[in-house]
Amino acid sequence: MVEISINVNIADRVYPLTINIEEEEKIRKAVKQINQKIKEFKEAYKVQDSQDCLAMCSLELMVDQLRNESKIMLEDNGFSEKVLEINQKLTDFFEKH
């Protein structure tokens, strides 16, 4: 793994990071999305404090993550049920033969 040093600007503050080179594009994309969200919060709620906007970004991100985890769990339950059903059919088949 090759590591590189980059600087990212979030809410008008620069943060130096040492990252795996493979992650650079994702990190830069995430920074861009965070800054866009901050801008949206500032415009929508007339908030000037970047800390408040960062807190709201964090909250929104975590709520989205929890929703996605719940969705995955529900989808996984359907998959798991199918696997158990197939397993039972195979067990029944081999018990008969």
Q: Report domain extents, the chain.
A: 3-96
So what's the pLDDT on residue 56? 92
So what's the pLDDT on residue 1? 83
Quick check: 7 and 24 in contact, CB under 8 A?
A: no
**Closest Cα partner for 33 from 15, 11, 63?**
11
Q: Which two tokens stand for residue 59?
A: 């909250």
So what's the pLDDT on residue 76? 64
So what's the pLDDT on residue 74? 66
pLDDT < 70 positions in the chain: 74-78
The answer, as to whether pTM is greater than 0.75, is no
pLDDT in tens, 12-22: 999 999 999 99
So what's the pLDDT on residue 77? 66
So what's the pLDDT on residue 54? 92
Question: Taking the C-alpha atoms of 47, 52, 55 and 59 in order, what is their torsion angle to the nearest 10 degrees?
Answer: -40
